Amino acid sequence: MRLYLIRHPRPAIGEGICYGASEVDLIEDVSQSAVRLQDRLPGHLQLFSSPLRRCRALAEALHRQPRFDARLQELNFGDWEGKPWDEIPREQIDA
């Protein structure tokens, strides 16, 4: 069995921002990423994806029937979501 791990294209959010489970748009159109990946992936693969919009878009561009599983979703960082990492107290991160 082969496992292919694919990350969504770069999100449209500033560098150093904690975005975890937040729904953020992507900088590039997923169709460009899908075209680059198509030749590298076998045609018979099963595709599992996080249900987050940034992941869902690429999964749907790569496969007719991707399976979405919330267990693959990024962590929800609660009050940290949308904040710059350098503004989050270090002692909270290390706790």
- pLDDT of 95 reads 85
What is the b/e burial string over 49-64, where b = at least 16 CB atoms within 10 angstroms of the residue's CB? bbebebbbbbbbbbbe
CATH superfamily of domain region 1-78: Phosphoglycerate mutase-like (3.40.50.1240)
* Domain range summary for the chain, segments of one domain joined by +: 1-78
User: Which residues, in sequence order, are CB contacts of 9 under 8 Å at separation 6+?
Assistant: 26, 27, 28, 30, 32, 33, 54, 58
Q: What is the pTM of this model?
A: 0.84
What are the φ/ψ torsions at residue 49 (nearest 5 degrees)? -145, 155
Q: What is the pLDDT of residues 15-49, one digit of tens each?
A: 999 999 999 999 989 999 999 999 899 988 999 99
CB 34 within 8 A of CB 55: no
**Which two structure tokens, joined as six digits, stand for 37?**
């990946």
